[in-house]
Structure 1
Amino acid sequence: MTRILHLTDLHFGFHRAALEEPLLARIAALRPDLVVIGGDITHRALPPQMRQARAFLDRIEAPLMCMPGNHDVPAWNLVARMFWPFAGFRRHFGPVLTPVGRAGDVRVMALNSADPYAWQRGKIREGEIGRVIGNVDAMGTNIVALHHPLQQLPRVDKALARRASEALYRLEASGVQVVLSGHLHRWATDALLATGRHPRVLQIQTGTALCARITDGQNEFVLLEIDGPDLRLERHVAPMDANGFGTPEIADYSRVSGVWRRV
């Protein structure tokens, strides 16, 4: 069994500092094989925020893979945003914007969906879909991780990332079984599966891990336990009025039939 932890939208600089220690303690107790950091690690991509976030991530003992979100490019320095938007991210979180991680027979492939020329809306870059498809392991479990969702529910009022629909169709056809995303600060898994549009891809949209925005209502992260075609989600939630994470919510899924179904 392989344990992948998805942690996204930390927003250092506008985060719940009091939740840092409970989050680190819960991660340590879960002992994941790999931690996927799904972007918006900082709130405004300022150097002090990046240093603070890096210090937090350095306390996680599991292997990490990081990708940028739209908040991880300079917000106010327009010159840096135009000419070297990811310089700070590379300096603090690693030189590779689209890392690949492996744990057991699970392969996690990152996409960089952050667009420096659009504040919120993301994009899938030319050639990125083909790069991921070329790395699909036909014998294992393939996960794609990116900041922006590839499908959104009707209640979402943000624009879908450019080429997101094309990416989702092509990734599903290639054998990608799971997509991890964030950005919306809203949990969505079963509702996306219920649309019936992409039954061979389990899309896990995880809420914010540490952002202090009251309207989000809670902070959360998710642990994936993968055992061949079976997958268990442990959703760990900390309400805004709580000092830590409660008992996880458990959901089991299987793709034995060729499509994902909740067990």
Structure 2
Amino acid sequence: MTSFLLAHLSDPHLGPMPQPRLRELASKRAIGYFNWRRKRHAVHRRDVLGELVADLQAQRPDHIAITGDLVNIALPLEFTAARQWLESVGTPHDVSLVPGNHDAYVGGIRDHFPTAWADYLHGDGAAQTGETIFPYLRRRGPLALIGVSTAVPTAPFMATGRLGHVQRASLGRLLPKLASENLFRVLLIHHPPVTSPGRWAARLRDSDELLELLSRYGVELVLHGHDHRHATVWLDGPRGRIPAIGVPSASAFAMGHTHPAAYNLFSVAKENGTWRCEQRVRGFTKDMMLGDIKQEKLI
């Protein structure tokens, strides 16, 4: 059987940041803007992102998944620029997106990303209604791509996320149905399902409930961003372990302990009634040379 190639990148934190109006900084945005001017602008570089995306496109993936944080402090002009960048990556049919906490940075702007990026967030058939509803479902080849949103506004110095009861209830109905259709289920989520040490202020607040759902109904693969680092964590599933894979920021320049920009490639096929999934990681080394980083069989 021919393999299906899924690419995964995350957290581009697109720059340069537009100049905010003074009234736009009368909120948590003031802290984010200061952090961007002080350090983050040097970490998240557009030239690094451009080279990484060009390399990804050269691999000719069948589909691309992006797991959030396209913008930085959720200024209206940031959403417009992010839309243009999305179009340079691929068409809405070929790119699936879920939002991150920076895409819902402050209260009152949560409608911006569903409007600006709507067709990248729609499930199959939803484009006709114009509604953005999570979780969404997209069938591509042997894959069922399930996108959820953990993007909620938070207080200063907090970067937590939450699915909420409605999304979790929908997942509880959707996952067993997809299992019966014999599809390779990929959950796209911004926050990692398991919180890394020292990341309490950036945790997924209802991670225990999500892990219970996954242990009961399962998926074949979880893809996330948020932590800006390479990560593989194995979750309990109903028929074995589930790989949850994180990736560094797609625009990260190597500085100090920063994991430089990278992306994942997953080759998925079914052989003799059993799923096979192999991961290949391409990205920058500490000396900013771009190439293969690792390759391994996940399933």
Superposition TM-score, scaled by structure 2 size: 0.73
- Larger C-alpha radius of gyration, 1 or 2? 2
DSSP 3-state at the match of 2:165: coil
**Take 1:127 and 1:40, find their aligned partners in 2: how far apart are those partners?**
22
Supply the AA of the counterpart residue of 1:29. A
Structure 1 counterpart of 2:8, one-letter code = H
Alignment equivalent of 1:96, drawn from 132, 135, 140: 132
Q: Is the 2:74–2:109 contact (alpha carbons within 8 Å) kept by the matching residues of 1?
A: no
Question: Structure 2: 5+ residue runs without aligned partners?
Answer: 16-40, 119-130
Distance 1:47 1:124, change over 3 A: same
Match of 1:183 among 208, 226, 233: 226
Question: Is 2:237 aligned against 1:235?
Answer: no
SS at structure 2 position matched to 1:147: coil
Q: Which residue of 2 aligns with 1:122?
A: 161
* Partner in structure 2 of residue 258 of structure 1: none
- CA deviation profile, 1:31-86 (whole Å, cap 9, x unmatched): 222211111111111233222222221112351121111111244xxxxx1xx332
Residue 250 of structure 1 aligns to a residue whose secondary structure is: strand
TM-superposition CA deviations, 1:136-167 (whole Å, max 9, x none)? 31211111111101113446454531111221
Identity of aligned residues (%): 25
Equivalent of residue 222 in structure 1, options 258, 261, 264: 264
Q: 1:91 to 1:239 in 2, by over 3 A?
A: farther
Partner Cα distance (1:130, 1:73) in 2: 22
Aligned pair partner of 1:68 in 82, 92, 99: 99
| Number of equivalenced pairs | 242
For residue 69 of structure 2, what is the amino acid of its counterpart?
D
Matching residue of 2:56: 27
Q: TM-score, normalised by structure 1?
A: 0.83
* Cα distance in 1 for residues equivalent to 2:63 and 2:225: 17
Q: Find the residue that maps to 1:91 and give its secondary structure.
A: helix
Question: Is this contact kept in 2: 1:235–1:250, CA < 8 A?
Answer: yes
- 5+ long unaligned stretches in structure 1: 76-80, 255-263
The alpha-carbon distance between structure 1 residues 166 and 157, as it changes in their structure 2 partners (threshold 3 A), is closer
What is the match of residue 11 of structure 2? Answer: 9
More helix by share: 2
Whichever residue aligns with residue 223 of structure 1, its letter is L
> d(CA) in 2 for partners of 1:180 and 1:247?
19
The residue identity in structure 1 corresponding to 2:217 is S
Q: Does 1:174 align with 2:223?
A: no
**8 A Cα contact 1:12 1:211, kept in partner:** no
